[in-house]
Amino acid sequence: MTAQPVTFLGRAEAIIGTREAQLVNQGMRHLTEMRDSAVAEFPIMDPLRDRARVIRLHALANLDRLLSHFTDQVIEQGGEVHFAADADEANEIVARILEETGSRLVVKSKSMVSEEIHLNPYLEARGIEVVETDLGEFIVQLAGDTPSHIVAPTIHLDRHDIGALFARKLGVPETFDPTELNQIARDHLRQVFLRADAGISGVNVAVAESGSLITVTNEGNGRLITTAPRVHIALLGMERLVSRWVDASVILEVLARSATGQRLSSYTNVVTGPRREADEDGPQQLHVVVIDNGRSQILGSDTAEILACIRCGACLNICPVFRTVGGHAYGTVYSGPFGSIVTPGLLGMEPWWELPYASTLCGACEEVCPIRIQIPSLLLKLRARAAAEGRLPGWLERGIRRYTNTVYTPTKWERAKRLAHTLSSPISRDGWIRRLPGRGRGWTAYRDFPRPARESFSAWWRSNRGT
Amino acid sequence: MEGPTVQLVVTCLVDALAPQVGRATVTVLERAGCQVEFLAGQTCCGQPAFNVGMLTEARRMAGHTLDLLDVTQGPVVVPSGSCAAMMTRHYGELFAATDREQQAERVGSRVRELSQFLVDDLGTGLRASCDGCLVAYHHSCHGLRSLRLRHQAEVLLSEVEMAELEGSEECCGFGGVFAVEMPAVSAAIMNEKLDRIEASGANILVGGDVSCLMHLEGGLRRRNSKIAVKHVAEALAGDDL
């Protein structure tokens, strides 16, 4: 395997113009259209977004109290709660639970936080077999790939890729028919479900008042995972709580519509405690692992608002940069506009400070965010942090300093404009420059640049209107 | 018709790279009955530094612009949604809890983007006209989303034949320093936009921001396209077309 380029731009350049980029763009446009029509037929979407924002911000402001109440409730219902300060601790806790319960085969439903902490390789290194059961994640796992989108992990693949993959890895006859492909995965996974010792799931929303865990999926796998195996381990990002059921219902109303344009996901699964005596099914043990892994640090910073995110992916779907490069360019599981804010917070500014710069600041993300998170403003805050910490490349920092000094002094600005016109003479034709020197080469690699005018506007004004 | 006296802020890009847009803006404002004043010494609003995150530099530039404008009165008209948004929305953030806070509010509240000023404030009857033109309009992001501009340009262009431009409210990929920092990404977004502009059948592209327009025109030139590119002020001034 060749080494992955180390910068966003490097990874992006490797993707732009490829079939992957084309599939991502098509997929994103489709999801955005679905979202738009779902919102159009739902007149109370905007007031509900306002409400959802209040609910999420309230939860963040009271997170300590909610977590404590939630924990009490889970225990009351017969479950156990574990707190993990970082990824290592979270992985250790999961491995210990699996060891103590003698679990060798684990089935997983979709959990982005498990990608965040790199749980699968950790468990596999300890001889535990982990099988992803979300169709997209199953495909990603078979392919040895990574998800390219938090909601649609295989948006960069099409049925031909998947048909070929199944034939190669599962030894089935090659087919490109989506229904048949689905059936192949289902047959394969059903066998695994029956043998699995433990199920690991993520959590979309945790309800503090009852200690309930809500997961939304469009496949039945999430429900099987939390009911069939003996042990259920739920991985909960520390911030994903709401106080009450009435709050959760608002989040669910805006989540599915924003994510896939559905009124409600096909499955809204609620787990409250492990199996009780009268229950016909359900796990004997329920463990909730509450994962911090940098969230406390974000909570105490000027980008805390991003923790209100409910991971619908709408900001990815509409982002012109994400549409062009896809999730893999971001180098981490949380991509797109929200990911560019979350990642430097969770994983540190180095090397992730560059992600907030991977944006045109067009503001389309904020317009679709169901929580109305002020994404461009948060990106700007992280840019200011990066600049203050001296992380900007020298050419950029020097360039802005020089520009500031020039425009701060009007006489220097006048001189600079005249000089730019004169110096551009040998490289200009018809008022345009085909090749700029220095960093300007990046611009002229793809487009012409206008030649600085012979007579600037202010010079014209002086000659014609000046007093 | 006697209109107000306005302070014209042309922006650094218009001043240095597209003075014809500044001259057209003067023509249009005068045609609308305004007295146009232009303060020598104006340079840049500070947006490049602000968007990069270099706030000290942004405050220097913004402070310079504020000091210059604060001794004047009346509307400050800017032929750019992006720079107008910087002055109306971000100056307040930049100087929050500083001794310039009130100044930023005082000046910021006077700032109007050109089409906003002409249509919303003056209710001008000026309309662009152009025989044989099929116009595609590019809504620049900051005007569209920060200033909520949309109908203003449509009113000004209502007597011109308009092309159906798919995704006319999607970003063109310019993004300020982004265009130089991540040129391949910026250009890929631009090329999708240019494909759509070409597919619209338009023979003229009009927009309200020189920044996006020079990026798009630079791209069209690489394609040897015959599509002309004009700022809305030029479209209104007419004889410059």
Among B221, B187, B172, B16, CA closest to A433: B221
Q: Which residues of B194-206 are buried (b: 16+ CB within 10 A; e: fewer)?
A: bebbbebebbbbb
Contacts of B93 in chain A (CB under 8 A): 377
Q: Which of B19, B50, B187 sits opposite A457 (nearest CB)?
A: B19
Q: List the one residue out of B225, B228, B174 whose CA is nearest residue B195.
A: B225
Pairing mode of beta strands A212-217, A205-207: antiparallel
Comparison of pLDDT for A232 and A409, the residue scoring more: A232
Residues B12-25, mean pLDDT to the nearest whole number:
97
Give Rg (Cα) of chain B: 17
Mapped onto helix, strand or coil, the DSSP state of residue A287 is strand
Please tell me if residue B79 touches chain A, with a CB cutoff of 8 Å. no
Q: What is the DSSP letter of A263?
A: S
- Backbone φ/ψ region at A118: left (φ over 0), alpha (ψ -120 to 50), beta: left
B92 touches chain A (CB under 8 A): no
Tell me the chain B residues in contact with residue A25 when contact means C-beta distances shorter than 8 Å: 192
Distance (Å, whole) CA A236 – CA A291: 6
Give me chain A's average pLDDT, please: 96
DSSP A182-245: HHHHHHHHHHHHHH-SEEEE--SEEETTTTEEEEEESSTHHHHHTTSSSEEEEEEETT-EESSH
| pLDDT band, residue B241 (cuts 50/70/90) | very low
Chain A environment of B222 (Cβ under 8 Å): 446-448
Angle (deg, nearest 10), helices A457-464 and A410-423: 110
Binning pLDDT at 50, 70 and 90, where does residue A3 land? low
Distance, C-alpha A175 to centroid of its chain: 31
CB-CB: which of A321, A406, A460 is closest to B185? A321
A457: enclosing H helix or E strand = helix A457-464
For chains A and B, CB pairs below 8 A equal 199
From the list A9, A366, A450, the residue facing B214 with the nearest CB is: A450
Interface test with A, best of B54, B141, B230 (most A CBs within 10 A): B54
Percentage of the residues of chain A whose pLDDT score is greater than 70: 99
Contact state of B182 with A383 under an 8 Å Cβ cutoff: no
The enclosing H or E element of A459 equals: helix A457-464
- The pLDDT confidence band at residue A5, using thresholds 50, 70 and 90, is confident
Instruction: Name residue B220's beta-bridge partners.
Output: none
Instruction: Give φ, ψ of A388 to 5 degrees.
Output: -65, -30
Q: Does B22 touch chain A (CB under 8 A)?
A: yes
Q: Report the chain A residue with the minimal C-alpha distance to residue B38.
A: A461
Q: Verify whether the Cβ–Cβ distance A392 to B54 is below 8 Å.
A: yes
User: Which of A396, A407, A446 shows the shortest C-beta gap to B44?
Assistant: A407
Q: What pLDDT does A150 receive?
A: 95
Has residue A2 got a pLDDT over 70? Answer: no
* Chain B: closest CA distance from residue A139 (Å): 28
Domain boundaries of chain A, sorted by first residue: 42-293, 394-464
Give the whole-number percent of chain A exceeding pLDDT 90: 94
Which chain B residue's Cα is nearest to A411?
Answer: B41
Residue A84 backbone dihedrals phi, psi, to 5 degrees? -115, 120
As a whole number of angstroms, the distance between CA B219 and CA B198 comes to 12
Class of CATH domain B126-237: alpha beta
Which of B12, B52, B93 has its CB closest to that of A392? B52
β A267-271/A212-217 pair status = antiparallel
Q: Quick check: A236 and A291 in contact, CB under 8 A?
A: yes
pLDDT tens by residue, B125-159: 999 998 899 999 999 999 999 999 999 999 999 99
Q: Which phi and psi angles does A205 have, rounded to 5°?
A: -140, 135
In angstroms, the CA A135 to CA A143 distance is 12
d(CA A409, CA B83): 19
* CATH value of A42-293 in 3.30.930.10, 3.40.50.10420, 3.40.50.720, 3.40.50.300: 3.40.50.10420
Evaluate if residue B240 carries a pLDDT over 70.
no
Give the pLDDT band (50/70/90) at residue A6.
confident
Hunting for tokens 């050109």 — which residue is that? B114
Q: Where are the domains of chain B?
A: 5-120, 126-237
- Would you state the structure tokens that stand for residue A55, as one six-digit string? 């609910």
Is residue B49 within 8 angstroms of chain A, CB to CB? yes
pLDDT reading at B233 higher than 70: yes
Looking at the partner chain, which of A440, A449, A457 has a beta carbon nearest the beta carbon of B23?
Answer: A457
- Which residue intervals of A126-196 are DSSP H helices? 135-143, 159-170, 178-195
Contact residues, A window 223-282, toward B, CB-based 8 Å cutoff = none
Q: Which of A185, A160, A187 is nearest to A175 (CA)?
A: A160
Q: For tokens 């601790």, what's the residue?
A: A89
Task: Summarize the confidence of residues B164-185 as an average pLDDT.
Answer: 96
Q: Mind listing the pLDDT tens digit for each residue in A408-461?
A: 888 999 999 999 999 999 999 999 999 999 999 999 999 999 999 999 999 999
The band of B238, judged by pLDDT with boundaries at 50, 70 and 90, is confident
Helix or strand run (H / E) with residue B232: helix B232-237
Alpha-carbon distance A360 to A167, whole Å? 41
Task: State the pLDDT at residue A1.
Answer: 41
- Amino acid (1-letter code) at residue A442: G
Task: With beta carbons less than 8 A apart as the criterion, state whether A293 and A116 touch.
Answer: yes
User: What residues have CB less than 8 Å from A315, skipping those under 6 apart?
Assistant: A322, A336, A337, A338, A365, A368, A369, A375
Identify the residue with better confidence: A357 or B238.
Answer: A357
